[in-house]
Structure 1
Amino acid sequence: MADTAMSGAGTTGGDDPLQRAIWRLRSRGCWTDAAALLTPHAGRAASAAAAVQRTALLVERCLFTGQGWAEAEDALRIAEAIAQDDDDRGAAACERGQLAYAATVLGVRDRADEARSALGRAAALLSPESRTRPLLDFRRGLVAEHLADAPQSARPAYHRAHAGAEAHGDTLLLSFTWRHLAALALRDGEVAEARKGFAESLRIREDLGFLIGTAPALAALAEAEPEPEATRLRAEARRLFHLLGGIPTWLADQLHPAESTPASV
């Protein structure tokens, strides 16, 4: 399965015109339009990877907007149905785990057991060399940290994901692992280490043009910076947040504390 079939990681598309177009749309929060580009490919047995990638885009939409659950479920069922091998099946299971995680952490429905089960199934199916393995490790870290409240279990999962992302050249996933390792460092009072990780996450997202992920990165770095830099970073995060129509929705609580409850991606 291609590494672009990941909702929390991937590349800017390289030399592939289709993947470049998908990246441009995805990075601006146009997940439905990006998924539509894959629709002609996602229903064929030969295109199991396209079906998983389409699913991943729609799952990411759910996590960032809290909407589109039925569309994501439909896409996921197609991906599961046309999977050709263990890597395809493992990638689809990884997306099922992420969808269940998103529903749980956003308070839509408690699907924590489903998230754990699906990610465990993905772990059994994916080979150690699979390009999806680092993403799986990252998502198992999310479940440990945010559903099980077990940061001590999340940290090694994030470290495995970080090492795997480096090995596979998955720069965007590195922005996620840097950020979450930094958040754990901040939780432990290691402010300098946290600042370094948050800054690296922000740098990567700005370099890649990952607009929908830039406001969360700015807000996270603000938590580790002294004033007046923290205020400047939050102001820039608010500007981008409103420019993108209030996406991700869960960031509103951090930027406007009275409005909503955040998730973490």
Structure 2
Amino acid sequence: MADTAMSDAEVGPNAPGGDTPPDVTRLRGRGCWTEAALLLAPHAERSPAAATRRAALLIECCMFTLDGWAEAEDALRTAEALARTDDERGEAACERGNLAYLATLFGLRDRADEARAALMRSAALLAPGAAGRPLLDFRRGLVAENLGDDPAAARAAYRRAHAGAVAHEDVLLTSYTWRHLAGLAARDGDVAEARHGFTESLRIRVELGYAVGVAPALTALAGVTPDPEAGRLRAEAARLFRTLGGVPVWLAEELAGEPAADAG
């Protein structure tokens, strides 16, 4: 896989809106997706929202570990079966699109057409002001950028997602939109704008305790930062990567050979 694809692998919050229990949020932030999904399992048997959140967690596990695809597929089928309203069907379709996108991005199987079709279905089902709409816009941007090689369409989608995330106070999604808008800025050679976006993304993740997303944010910022500060950022990313047991796995090659940061 190309380096740009690997840097874009960290691709989204994978969680529809709603009042996720705090224990689930904490476990997710530490990369304990299976444990978090277990907490939702009893509710996911009867609640469409809980079933979709559980599927989203397991899909995020696939994204960071490149494992657990069958479990995520099973959870998603359950969520799709339980969905009754248009918004519930739309959120499940958004997760379907994300799973197909990730399988394509990581070379598991080419499911690009399925990803696009599922996101189009989600767009038709979700009301314009629905809480899940910003996440849908973000994922449409990912498909445009990484499967369609259309940065202009991606930028427009990311901007819609960013505005929607701010309006709905979806702070983690805002971190992702900052990150990907910054990535496009870096692609265009606008280093100052890229550095600003990557810094904001990192700040939010640290404040939220979303530890599993901090190492990718550090390496992204390092890519637009001069040495010696860039070296310090990469070393800190390598330390956190090891602390979390080597996730996200696609970051390993980029961080290979980085010295451990000082314990203090």
Contact kept, 8 Å, 1:9 with 1:170, in 2: the verdict is: no
Residue equivalent to 1:26: 28
Residue equivalent to 2:41: 39
1:241-263 deviations in whole A, cap 9, x for unaligned?
A: 11111111111232239xxxxxx
TM-score normalised by length of structure 1: 0.90
One-letter code aligned to 1:20: P
One-letter code aligned to 2:24: I
1:187-206 deviations in whole A, cap 9, x for unaligned?
A: 00000000000000000000
Residue equivalent to 2:14: 8
| Compared CA separation, residues 9 and 96, structure 1 to 2 (3 A) | closer
Identity of aligned residues (%): 67
One-letter code aligned to 2:179: R
- SS of the equivalent of 2:245 reads coil
One-letter code aligned to 2:150: A
One-letter code aligned to 2:34: T
Query: Where does 1:1-265 land on structure 2 (aligned, <5 Å)?
Result: 7-8=13-14, 19-44=21-46, 47-256=47-256
Q: Deviation of residue 10 (structure 1)?
A: 6.7
Q: Distance in 2 between matches of 1:253 and 1:189?
A: 24
Q: Deviation of residue 9 (structure 1)?
A: 5.2
Q: Distance in 2 between matches of 1:138 and 1:167?
A: 14
Aligned residues: 246
Q: Distance in 1 between matches of 2:140 and 2:78?
A: 24
Q: Distance in 2 between matches of 1:9 and 1:185?
A: 26
One-letter code aligned to 1:28: R
1:64-102 deviations in whole A, cap 9, x for unaligned?
A: 110111111111111011101000000000000000111
Q: Distance in 2 between matches of 1:92 and 1:246?
A: 29
Q: Distance in 1 between matches of 2:107 and 2:243?
A: 25
Q: Distance in 2 between matches of 1:89 and 1:172?
A: 23
After superposing on structure 2, the runs of 4+ consecutive aligned residues of structure 1 that deviate more than 3 Å are 6-11
Q: Distance in 2 between matches of 1:192 and 1:57?
A: 34
One-letter code aligned to 1:8: N
State the superposition RMSD in angstroms: 1.5
| Compared CA separation, residues 80 and 9, structure 1 to 2 (3 A) | closer
| Compared CA separation, residues 7 and 189, structure 1 to 2 (3 A) | closer
Q: Distance in 1 between matches of 2:66 and 2:91?
A: 22
Q: Distance in 2 between matches of 1:254 and 1:115?
A: 28
- SS of the equivalent of 2:213 reads helix
1:161-200 deviations in whole A, cap 9, x for unaligned?
A: 0000000000000000000000000000000000000000
Question: Gaps (5+ residues) in structure 2?
Answer: 1-11, 258-264
